[in-house]
Amino acid sequence: MLDKYFSTRLEIKTNILKNNIDYLRTKIAKNTEIIAVLKANAYGFGDIMLAKKILKHGIKNIAVADFEEGIRLRKNGVNSSIMIMYPGFNNLEPIISNNLEPTIYSLEMLDNLIFIANKYKKKIFFHLKVDTGMSRYGFLQVEIEEAIQKIRMQKNLKIKTIFSHFSSSKSKEHVSFTKGQIEKFIIIKKIFEDRFSYKIKYHISNSHGLLNYKNENFDMVRVGFGLYYGFNNKYTSCIGELKSCISQIKLIKKGDVVGYNKKFIAKKNMKIGIVPMGYADGLRRSWGNNKLSFFKGNEFLRILGEISMDSCIVDLSSLKNINVGDEVILFGKSRNIFNLCSDLNIIPYELTACLSKRIRRVLI
């Protein structure tokens, strides 16, 4: 009931979310599971509300980045499997105590997990990450034998999944590199299958990986991009529409200064509007002075001068009928997020993941 009082709103289209999930399922085998990635507040779209919606659509596995994100979901009634992809060395205990599943990516972390398992005499399911070429988190292949020996000695530890991460699965220029990652992963998979008698699940594909390397999706796929943004094709769409409004309208004269530091001085009489959205909401200060624009009807409303912490100023001179309270769009149905981000030389992640939590998320 409070939604109507928020001037700036990120509206989440649940029908598009379902459509994106349905599309993803057509691209994977029936027995391949989807892991919904909800890190960074579900890429900025709202982790708690989306977790509950995603689970209703039959997805049973969730992944987040760190222990705080996992605990937040647990405290808000999300009882599914929650994988912590990038835990810190020092926060394994709260992960285990909140029935979350840590990823172990180094020998040092494995030793710490063993210590915790022995301390609490508790069976712990965990995920093991291997580095197949991205040089980020994950065991190197030369470390795997030592890791296996340590794990096999522990009755309270059980590997739930083993995974790696594609570096360049979207790019057609790096097909040979990606195939090299897959080959390394298959070798590692065979090593673990030979050394462990129980079933371990394997996954390496992200959103673009599951599309471009369909035969290598293994047991599971990890999806964030495809859930929230779709693939910029006729079958999928971005689930969000970011709206604000015009808070005040002014008529200014030639020579008037707009915003901080005299970055814009009117060269003619103009009509301007104040939009209650600034860099504290996720806009970048550097996007001011004609770099970013809002959209109204068929008109782009360019930002004049510097973006402030809580507001920005747009040129309304081209609009004859515009009133205080009228909506303006940053991205959504009438303005493709991919086109907007291309104009800003960023990717959609950079835009939505940085949206402030003070922006109201609303399910539609």
Residue 2 clears pLDDT 90, i.e. is over it = no
List pLDDT tens digits, range 337-354: 999 999 999 999 999 999
- Return the domain boundaries, the chain: 14-228, 240-363
pLDDT in tens, 295-344: 999 999 999 999 999 999 999 999 999 999 999 999 999 999 999 999 99
- The predicted model gives 273-282 an average pLDDT of 98
Which candidate, 305, 109, 314, places its Cα nearest to that of 96? 109
- Tokens 């991009």 found at: 225
Q: Let me know: does 53 contact 15? Beta carbons within 8 Å.
A: no
Please pick, among 155, 260, 262, 357, the residue that the annotation labels catalytic. Answer: 260
Annotated active-site residue 260? The verdict is yes
Q: What is the pLDDT of residue 174?
A: 94
Q: What does the pLDDT average to over 220-240?
A: 97
Superfamily of the domain at 240-363 = Lyase, Ornithine Decarboxylase; Chain A, domain 1 (2.40.37.10)
Mean pLDDT of the chain: 96
CATH architecture of structural domain 14-228: Alpha-Beta Barrel (3.20)
Instruction: Say yes or no to pLDDT of 1 above 70.
Output: no
Q: Which two tokens stand for residue 251?
A: 């008529």
Rounded to the nearest angstrom, the gap between the alpha carbon of residue 263 and the centroid of all alpha carbons in its chain is: 34
Indicate whether this model's pTM tops 0.85: yes
> Which is nearest to 250 in space by CA: 229, 232, 275?
275
From 13, 39, 189, 243, the catalytic residue: 39
The reply to whether domains 14-228 and 240-363 share a CATH topology is no
Cα distance between residue 355 and residue 153, in whole Å: 46
Residue 311's SS3 state is: coil
User: What separation in angstroms does the CA of 28 have from each of 25, 46, 60, 316?
Assistant: 5, 26, 16, 47
Clarify whether 39 is annotated catalytic. yes
Tell me the sheet residues that pair with 281: none
Q: Where are the beta strands (DSSP E) in the chain?
A: 9-12, 33-37, 61-64, 81-84, 101-104, 124-129, 157-163, 201-203, 220-223, 240-245, 248-252, 257-258, 264-265, 270-275, 293-296, 299-304, 312-315, 327-331, 360-363
